[in-house]
């Protein structure tokens, strides 16, 4: 910001949630979860028990899904959905 300038802040309501999905081990439940989140118009949702054995990012409907490593037995794992 330069001398004499005024800052403008943009405010936006953001809906945040958390969900124990029990398992996203197969591809179908990921899309179903994204549809459900869109229905509630949530912006960011933390999820538990993802059960994927690696970490990364994948698109899921209107969301980006970021997930962390579970273990080799497809247990544990966390992630979160966020709107782009």
**Residue 43: per-residue pLDDT:** 92
Q: How many CA atoms lie within 13 A of 49 on its CB side?
A: 7
- Residue 57 C-beta-side C-alpha neighbours within 13 Å: 5
Q: Looking at the domain assignment, is residue 65 inside a domain?
A: yes
Cα gap 34→81, rounded to integer Å: 8
Residue 60 within any structural domain of the chain: yes
Q: pLDDT 10s per residue in the chain (84 long)?
A: 566 666 677 777 889 998 887 767 666 788 888 888 899 999 999 888 777 777 888 898 889 989 887 666 656 778 889 988
Q: Show the domain range for 38.
A: 19-82
How much is the pLDDT for 44? Answer: 92
Q: Is residue 43 domain-resident?
A: yes
Counted domains in the chain: 1
d(CA 78, CA 84): 19
Q: Confirm whether 14 is domain-assigned.
A: no
* Cα 79 to Cα 67: distance, rounded to the nearest angstrom: 4
């Amino acid at each position: 910001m330069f001398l004499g300038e005024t800052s403008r802040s943009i405010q936006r309501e953001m809906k945040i949630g958390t969900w124990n999905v029990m398992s996203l081990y197969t591809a179908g439940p990921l899309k179903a979860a994204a549809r459900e989140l869109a229905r509630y118009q949530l912006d960011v949702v933390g999820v538990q028990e993802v059960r994927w054995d690696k970490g990364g990012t994948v698109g899921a409907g209107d969301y980006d899904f970021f997930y962390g490593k579970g273990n080799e037995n497809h247990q544990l794992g966390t992630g979160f959905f966020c709107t782009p």
